[in-house]
């Protein structure tokens, strides 16, 4: 079968492509150019820079597979970067990788792949897709609990899952590195990327301000009772649960507990004030294709590095849900995703309101 | 590990000769002894130097012959880009300081010209770009309107690399001369495809590149009309009559000479073979694939090129799909690959965005066969049809 391997130039997607080629598939490497990189020296060390595209090409040469760079600058800007900025402006904390997976890799790129007679797109995600007896595609965690990336894939629909291959799902990271070294892939020792690819310096606030200068809009920092404790230069500079950079002096550590875009108010409080037992989510995707008929028990994860907690999830119509945790959870940040699991299987997820 | 079938050379069809061409066997034969044995420096006094010098001289005569010029007027350089740079910068620098400072070029020039004009612009030169008509040809009236008493140089390419249209150089050059300006033409895409004679064209400077006419990469030439003042682009030894310092690329130049001889012979024989193949391809595609249109004038163009827009298809995807079928084509020019900017040539012709984003250049050359062309025509409806069924409607910002 002809398979398109989405190659970022990192070790994971390189090994994914290598495994498929070794299994006898006709692999076509595609790299997505996501933003204009000509003449920009500052962007390196993160995902999908020009150097990374060169790395992808070098890996493809070693594997002796064709490799192409497709330009997705416009789509990336429309779907990922714009949303990222809009979320911060609305006092939310976005996860652009989820949109990149659902709206680009397993949407536009999958369409392009099908146009090339390749019915599936493979990526280097640590996740698994399995088919249930009734033909339904199941999304499962990667076997490597440390690297599991199923959280970033919760928006995938059944047709998208049918077109997805995750060759690393059953592997652990050290095995992936060892394989890359054994095959002498030129990226075997390349460090993992952690930052959001289009903000390699990690300074999200500065990025938002470059895109939207009106983001700089002063507001008040208040305590739980509404007393003014200080001032700030824009809600986009804060995220719920944040402790550093508040510029306040207090005998107790203070955390951002709530953000309000309309009033520009940043509410802070002690650690206990961060805790909530319930949340509501919208744009909920149920992997099976439709919501469960009745409330379900599951574990729910409220950010990538959160330890899932037991909860009762009540579907509200087709695409919303209410989540009630058994125990209060700290720092539930609007804009992040809540993803529901049963064991290793992703049931669905949505965006925290 | 199984490599895709298209990686095997026997099924590949190369239709990207405007990007570069394969080395003609006779060219390689000429170059091998130069690379192996005649390694001398053409400036050296001894026999080694003399042998190298003889190669350079022979090639200089052949290249001059290709364009109806005198050997002493040929300046060997590293390629078409350097030749364009040397022509424009050399004339600009030779111009009397502070007086006339205006340069005109067409809007569809190669980047080697356009970017050089941009740099001169930053250095205080006035620059004007002359528009082209919908058919990709400069309207003489438009040049007339752009010329001023300040104009030092006009640069208009002979044949366009993306659509192949041939410009009315003789008419444009006469116009420039009437206003006291020099005229340069980039003939990189016409040499070897059309008969060339500098006196008929009436130009003062003309750029050539070896690898576009089955010669080696890394060598080209600028023809400079005798007596014209030109400041050297790079300084050093006195090679190329002080116009291009640096030890001559003797094997490359020898190969260029051999390629020029072949091109002159082919031009003498008339290139009807290539034109017939191109027309077979073009007609086959237009008849076999609905929603296709040829960009640029279909009469006044080089015989090997056709540029076709495929409605509703992303050119980038079509290029890849064809490559996976073993057919090598390009979108616009090879130099603009990987950029989002639509072709400046098609834009200058007033093509709407959907047409510029769906355009593919097919450029034929030595080695293409009827069998290859028929296979391309045969697979085209299927490949395009597949892309069309799966095309997402263009998405708008914020959607």
What does the alpha-carbon distance between residue A45 and residue A194 come to, in Å, rounded to a whole number? 10
Residue of B316, B335, B354, B381 marked catalytic: B335
Are A66 and B4 a contacting pair at CB < 8 A?
Answer: yes
Given an 8 Å threshold on Cβ–Cβ distance, is B324 in contact with A112? no
Please give the C-alpha separations between residue B143 and each of A26, B25, B150, B154, B156, in angstroms, as whole numbers: 53, 42, 14, 9, 10
Q: What is the pLDDT of residues B5-16, one digit of tens each?
A: 455 666 899 999
Which residue's entry shows tokens 């077109």? A163
Decide if A100 is catalytic. yes
User: Hey, what are A102's tokens?
Assistant: 């659902």
Residues of A in contact with B386 (CB under 8 A): 114-115, 117
Closest CA to B223 of B250, B247, B192, B202: B202
| B191 in Cβ contact with B67 (< 8 Å) | yes
Quote the pLDDT of residue A160.
97
Min distance B130 CA to chain A CA atoms (Å) = 27
Model confidence pLDDT, tens digit, residues B193-212:
999 999 999 999 999 999 99
Mutate to test the interface with B, among A1, A35, A115 (most CBs of B within 10 A): A115
Q: How many CB atoms lie within 10 A of CB B287?
A: 11
CATH architecture type of domain A2-182: 3-Layer(aba) Sandwich (3.40)
- Contact (CB, 8 A) for B140 and B168: yes
pLDDT in tens, A87-129: 999 999 999 999 999 999 999 999 999 999 999 999 999 999 9
Q: Is B6 on the interface with A (CB under 8 A)?
A: yes
- Contact state of A108 with B392 under an 8 Å Cβ cutoff: yes
The full set of domain ranges for chain A reads 2-182, 217-269, 275-352
Identity of the residue in A26, A78, A112 whose CB atom sits nearest the CB atom of B397:
A78
Would the CATH topology of A2-182 be identical to that of A275-352? Answer: no
H/E segment holding residue A113: helix A109-115
Closest to B76 (Cα-Cα) out of B250, B195, B225, B227: B250
The answer to which of A33-37, B162-166, B195-199, B212-216 has the lowest mean pLDDT is A33-37
Across chain B, mean pLDDT equals: 92
Residue A186 neighbours by CB under 8 Å, 6+ apart: A55, A58, A59, A62
What domains, with CATH codes, occur in chain B?
5-18+271-390 (3.90.1150.10), 25-267 (3.40.640.10)
CA-to-CA separations, A64 to A22, B8, B224, in angstroms, rounded: 11, 11, 46
Mean of the pLDDT values across residues B147-152? 96
Q: How far is B293 from chain A (nearest CA, A)?
A: 21
CA distance A127 to A193: 18
A117 and B324 in contact by Cβ < 8 A?
A: yes
Closest chain A residue to the Cα of B317, Cα to Cα: A112
Contacts of A26 in chain B (CB under 8 A): 2, 4-5
Any idea which of A163-167, B19-23, B45-49, B231-235 has the lowest mean pLDDT? B231-235
Residue reference for tokens 């990207």: B16
- Residue B331, classed as helix, strand or coil, is coil
pLDDT of amino acid B270 = 56
C-alpha–C-alpha distance, residues B78 and B222, integer Å: 10
Q: Please count the helices (runs of H) and the strands (runs of E) in chain B.
A: 14, 12
Tell me which of A143-157, A229-243, B335-349, B373-387 is least confident: B335-349
Long-range CB pairs of A145-151, under 8 A, 24+ apart, other chains included: A146/A172, A146/A173, A147/A172, A147/A173, A149/A125, A150/A125, A150/A126, A150/A339, A150/A341, A150/A346, A151/A301, A151/A304, A151/A337, A151/A339, A151/A349
Q: What is the pLDDT averaged over residues B19-43?
A: 96
Alpha carbon distances (Å) from B100 to A213, B17, B93: 44, 39, 11
Q: Which residues of B touch A117 (CB under 8 A)?
A: 321, 324, 386
Q: Whole-angstrom Cα distance, residue A259 to residue A80?
A: 22
N-terminal to C-terminal alpha carbon distance within chain B? 42
Instruction: Identify the band that residue A244 occupies on the pLDDT scale cut at 50, 70 and 90.
Output: confident
**Domain A217-269 sits in which CATH superfamily?**
Adenine nucleotide alpha hydrolases-like domains (2.30.30.280)
Give the pLDDT mean for A190-196: 84
Query: Cβ–Cβ contacts within 10 Å for residue B279, how many?
Result: 14
d(CA A173, CA A15): 11
Q: Which residue, B155, B214, B383, B154, is CA-closest to B285?
A: B383
Per residue in B169-196, pLDDT (tens digit) is 999 999 999 999 999 999 999 999 999 9
Query: By CB neighbour count within 10 A (0-12 exposed, 13-18 middle, 19+ buried), where does B173 fall?
Result: buried
Q: In terms of CA atoms, which chain B residue is nearest residue A29?
A: B320
Specify whether the CB–CB gap between B128 and B154 falls below 8 A: no
- Give the span between the Cα atoms of B372 and B10, in whole angstroms: 11
According to the model, what pLDDT value does residue B396 have?
37
How confident is the prediction for chain A on average, in pLDDT? 92
- Determine the Cα angle at B354 with ends B350 and B356, to 5°: 55
Cα–Cα dist A90/A335, whole Å:
9
Q: Distance, in angstroms, between A28 CA and closest chain B CA?
A: 8
| CA–CA dist B101, A317 (Å, integer) | 71
Q: Answer for the pair A109, A6: CB distance below 8 angstroms, yes or no.
A: yes
- B206 DSSP β-pair partners: B185, B223
Q: Are B209 and B220 in contact (CB under 8 A)?
A: yes
Q: Per-residue DSSP letters for B63-114?
A: HHHHTT--GGGEEEESSHHHHHHHHHHHHHHHSPTTS--EEEEETT--HHHH
Q: What is the pLDDT of residues A251-275, one digit of tens each?
A: 889 999 999 999 999 999 999 999 9
Query: For residue B272, how many other CB atoms are within 10 A of its CB?
Result: 9
What CA–CA distances, in Å, run from B360 to A217, B98, B161?
48, 44, 12
Catalytic residue, chosen from A47, A48, A100, A312, is A100
Do A29 and A5 contact (CB within 8 A), yes or no? yes
In angstroms, the CA B126 to CA B128 distance is 7
Please identify, in words, the CATH class of the domain defined by A275-352: mainly beta
In B318-337, the residues whose Cβ lies within 8 Å of chain A are 320-321, 323-324
Residue B65 has pLDDT above 90, yes or no: yes
Q: What would the two tokens of residue A330 be?
A: 């700290």
**Which residues 6+ apart lie within 8 Å of A69 measured at CB?**
A30, A31, A32, A33, A53, A56, A57, B338
Hey, are the CB atoms on B340 and A73 less than 8 Å from each other?
yes
Only one residue has tokens 């490597």, namely A144
Picking from B139, B147, B183, the residue whose alpha carbon sits closest to that of residue B165 is: B139
Is A78–B398 a contact, with Cβ atoms under 8 angstroms apart?
yes
Which residues in chain A have their CB less than 8 angstroms from residue B341's CB?
none
């Amino acid at each position: 079968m002809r398979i398109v391997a989405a190659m970022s130039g990192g070790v994971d997607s390189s090994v994914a492509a290598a495994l498929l080629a070794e299994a006898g598939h006709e692999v076509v490497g595609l790299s997505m150019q996501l933003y204009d990189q000509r003449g920009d020296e500052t962007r390196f060390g993160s995902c999908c820079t020009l150097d990374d595209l060169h790395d992808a090409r070098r890996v493809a040469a070693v594997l002796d597979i064709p490799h192409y760079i497709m330009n997705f600058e416009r789509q990336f800007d429309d779907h990922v970067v714009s949303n990222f900025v809009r979320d911060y402006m609305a006092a939310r904390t976005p996860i652009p990788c989820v949109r990149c997976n659902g709206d680009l890799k397993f949407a536009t790129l999958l369409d392009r792949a099908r146009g090339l007679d390749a019915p599936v797109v493979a990526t280097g995600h640590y996740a698994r897709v399995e088919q249930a007896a009734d033909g339904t595609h199941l999304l499962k965690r990667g076997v490597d609990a440390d690297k599991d990336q199923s959280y970033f894939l919760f928006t995938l629909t059944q047709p998208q899952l049918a077109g997805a291959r995750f060759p690393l799902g059953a592997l652990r990271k050290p095995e992936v590195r060892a394989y890359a070294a054994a095959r002498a892939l030129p990226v075997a020792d390349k460090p993992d990327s952690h930052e959001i690819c289009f903000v390699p310096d990690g300074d999200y606030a500065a990025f938002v301000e470059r895109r939207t200068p009106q983001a700089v809009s002063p507001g008040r920092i208040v305590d739980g009772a509404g007393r003014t404790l200080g001032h700030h230069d824009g809600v986009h500079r804060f995220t719920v649960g944040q402790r550093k950079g508040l510029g306040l002096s207090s005998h107790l550590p203070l955390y951002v507990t709530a953000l309000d875009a309309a009033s520009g108010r940043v509410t802070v409080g002690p650690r206990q004030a961060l805790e909530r037992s319930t949340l509501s989510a919208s744009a909920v995707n149920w992997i099976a294709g439709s919501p469960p008929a009745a409330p379900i028990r599951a574990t729910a994860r409220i950010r990538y590095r959160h330890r899932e907690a037991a909860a009762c999830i009540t579907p509200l119509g087709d695409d919303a849900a209410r989540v009630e945790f058994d125990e209060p959870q700290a720092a539930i940040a609007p804009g992040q995703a809540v993803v529901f699991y049963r064991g290793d299987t992703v049931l669905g997820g949505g965006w925290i309101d | 590990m199984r490599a895709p079938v298209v990686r095997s050379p026997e099924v590949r069809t190369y239709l990207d000769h405007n990007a570069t061409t394969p080395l003609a066997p006779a060219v390689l034969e000429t170059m091998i002894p130069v690379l192996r044995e005649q390694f001398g420096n053409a400036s050296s006094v001894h026999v080694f130097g003399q042998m190298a010098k003889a190669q350079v001289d022979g090639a200089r005569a052949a290249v001059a012959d290709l364009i109806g010029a005198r050997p002493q007027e040929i300046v060997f350089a590293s390629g078409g880009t350097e030749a364009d740079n040397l022509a424009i910068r050399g004339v600009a620098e030779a111009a009397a300081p502070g007086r006339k400072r205006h340069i005109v070029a067409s809007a569809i020039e190669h980047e080697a010209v356009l970017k050089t004009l941009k740099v001169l612009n930053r250095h205080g030169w006035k620059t004007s770009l002359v528009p082209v008509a919908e058919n990709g040809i400069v309207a003489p009236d438009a040049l007339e309107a752009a010329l001023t008493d300040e104009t030092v140089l006009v640069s208009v390419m002979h044949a366009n690399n993306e659509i192949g249209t041939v410009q009315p150089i003789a008419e444009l050059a006469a116009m420039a001369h009437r206003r006291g300006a020099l005229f340069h033409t980039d003939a990189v895409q016409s040499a070897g495809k059309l008969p060339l004679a500098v006196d008929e064209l009436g130009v003062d400077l003309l750029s050539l590149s070896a690898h576009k006419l089955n010669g080696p990469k890394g060598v080209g030439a600028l023809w400079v009309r005798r007596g014209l003042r030109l400041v050297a682009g790079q300084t050093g030894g006195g090679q190329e009559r002080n116009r291009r310092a640096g030890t001559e690329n003797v094997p490359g130049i020898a190969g260029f000479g051999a390629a020029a001889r072949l091109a002159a012979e082919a031009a003498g024989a008339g290139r009807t073979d290539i034109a017939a193949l191109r027309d077979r391809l073009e007609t086959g595609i237009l008849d076999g694939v609905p929603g296709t249109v040829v960009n640029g004038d279909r009469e006044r163009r080089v015989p090997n090129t056709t540029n076709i827009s495929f409605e509703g298809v992303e050119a980038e995807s079509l290029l890849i799909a064809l490559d996976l079928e073993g057919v090598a084509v390009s979108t616009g020019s090879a130099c603009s690959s990987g950029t989002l900017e639509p072709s400046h040539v098609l834009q200058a012709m007033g093509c709407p965005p959907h047409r510029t984003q769906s355009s593919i250049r097919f450029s034929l050359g030595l080695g293409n066969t009827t069998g290859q062309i028929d296979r391309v025509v045969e697979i085209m409806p299927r490949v395009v049809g597949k892309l069309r069924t799966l095309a997402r409607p263009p998405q708008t910002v914020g959607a």
